[in-house]
Amino acid sequence: MGFNKDRFLLTWVVLFFFWVSATALLSPKGVNFEVQALMGIKEFLDDPHGVLDNWDEAAVDPCSWNMVTCSLDGLVISLGAPSQNLSGTLAPSFGNLTNLQLVLLQNNNISGHIQK
Ligand SMILES: *[C@@H]1O[C@H](CO)[C@@H](O)[C@H](O)[C@H]1NC(C)=O
Ligand SMILES: *[C@@H]1O[C@H](CO)[C@@H](O)[C@H](O)[C@H]1NC(C)=O
Ligand SMILES: *[C@@H]1O[C@H](CO)[C@@H](O)[C@H](O)[C@H]1NC(C)=O
CA of 49, closest atom in ligand 1:
14
Q: Which domain holds residue 68?
A: 5-111
31 found inside a domain: yes
For residue 116, tell me if it sits in a domain.
no
In a domain, 74, yes or no: yes
In a domain, 38, yes or no: yes
Inside any domain, residue 21:
yes
Average pLDDT value for the chain: 87
Contact 41, 93 (CB under 8 A): yes
Domain count, the chain: 1
Could you tell me which residues come within 8 angstroms of residue 74 by beta carbon, excluding any fewer than 6 positions away? 61, 63
Question: Residue 68 pLDDT > 90, yes or no?
Answer: yes
48-58 confidence digits (pLDDT tens) = 999 999 999 99
Ligand 2 site residues (CB inside 6 A) read 87-88, 109
- Please report, for the domain that includes residue 82, its CATH number: 3.80.10.10
Radius of gyration of the chain (CA): 22
Distance 102 CA to ligand 1 centre (A): 24
pTM for the full predicted model: 0.74
CA–centroid distance, 96 to ligand 3, in Å, is 6
Q: Tell me the CB-side half-sphere exposure of residue 20, using CA atoms within 13 A.
A: 6
